[in-house]
């Protein structure tokens, strides 16, 4: 059923501002937007930077008049915690896709892994995965992928400014990375696996920062489920003070 604010049992939520949410696994970014809009009767809600359903972490929502900041905030650099699994390739570059290859890790050492990840820092061209929301010829790639159609994609410029490896327990590698808008961590894991010659997929992803917003400022979906409309307005207004001071 289409959302109609005038037929909601709550009055229209009129506060404008920014709401950082800790997105749970299994929810799409739109699921979070739709939940907040419907739960609190907010006429306009947008998000700044899509997270895949399996990913968790910081999703910036903009409410009412602040939806005008969506493009600006979406363009901010992002920081992620991720886990790469070597020796596997899938159609989607993560565990949601079908396995297309499995390879041994003979010759793959910790020093080689660290050296390879470090080589992916800096400006580079990255090819979007077929299972993504990028449009080609007016069609989203994931729509074509569902039909078994693979099309040529144009590589896009991205910047990976930092990669820090925190744990290597082969076949798994945990790392934290900072990157520009539009960077696909799934593609990075695929490309690292290709460089090493053994294949690689993303098995876990958590966004911990977007621009000057950090995950510790985010509210969980469970907390929102138990929050009253007035409490949300107070929460958003308090965050707005921080935003106006440069989020310090």
C-alpha–C-alpha distance, residues 35 and 57, integer Å:
16
CA dihedral 220, 223, 224, 228 (to 10 degrees): -160
3-state DSSP call for residue 235? Answer: helix
Residues 6+ apart with CB under 8 A from 1: none
Estimate the crossing angle of helix 110-118 against helix 185-196, to 10 degrees.
130
**Residue 60 forms beta bridges with which residues?**
20
Q: Which of 22, 31, 52, 164 is catalytic?
A: 52
Residues 6+ apart with CB under 8 A from 103: 87, 88, 89, 197, 198, 199
Query: What's the gap between Cα 92 and its chain centre?
Result: 15
Bond from prior residue into 208 cis (ω within 30 degrees of 0): no
C-alpha–C-alpha distance, residues 119 and 103, integer Å:
22
Tokens matching residue 204: 């876990």
Check if the beta carbon of residue 82 is closer than 8 Å to that of residue 202: yes
Annotation says 52 is catalytic: yes
User: Whats the size of the chain, residue-wise?
Assistant: 248
CA gyration radius, the chain:
20
Catalytic residues: 52
């Amino acid at each position: 059923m289409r959302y109609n604010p005038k037929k909601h049992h709550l009055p229209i939520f009129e506060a404008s501002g920014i709401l950082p949410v800790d997105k749970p696994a299994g929810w799409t970014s739109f699921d979070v937007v739709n939940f907040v809009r419907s739960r609190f009767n907010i006429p306009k809600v947008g998000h700044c930077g899509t997270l895949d359903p399996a990913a968790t972490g910081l999703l910036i929502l903009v409410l009412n008049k602040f939806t005008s900041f969506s493009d600006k905030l979406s363009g901010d650099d992002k920081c992620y915690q991720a886990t790469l699994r070597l020796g596997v390739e899938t159609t989607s570059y993560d565990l949601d896709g079908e396995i297309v290859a499995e390879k041994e890790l003979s010759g793959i050492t910790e020093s080689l892994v660290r050296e390879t990840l470090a080589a992916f820092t800096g400006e580079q061209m990255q090819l979007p995965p077929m299972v993504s929301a990028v449009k080609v010829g007016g069609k989203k790639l994931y729509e074509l992928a569902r039909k078994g159609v693979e099309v040529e994609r144009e590589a896009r410029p991205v910047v990976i400014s930092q990669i820090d490896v925190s744990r290597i327990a082969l076949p798994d590698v945990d790392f934290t990375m900072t990157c520009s808008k539009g960077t696909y961590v799934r593609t990075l894991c695929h490309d690292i696996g290709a460089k090493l010659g053994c294949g690689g997929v993303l098995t876990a992803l958590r966004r911990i920062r977007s621009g000057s917003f950090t995950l510790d400022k985010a509210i969980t979906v469970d907390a929102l489920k138990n929050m009253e409309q007035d409490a949300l307005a107070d929460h958003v207004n308090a965050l707005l003070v921080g935003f106006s001071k440069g989020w310090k």
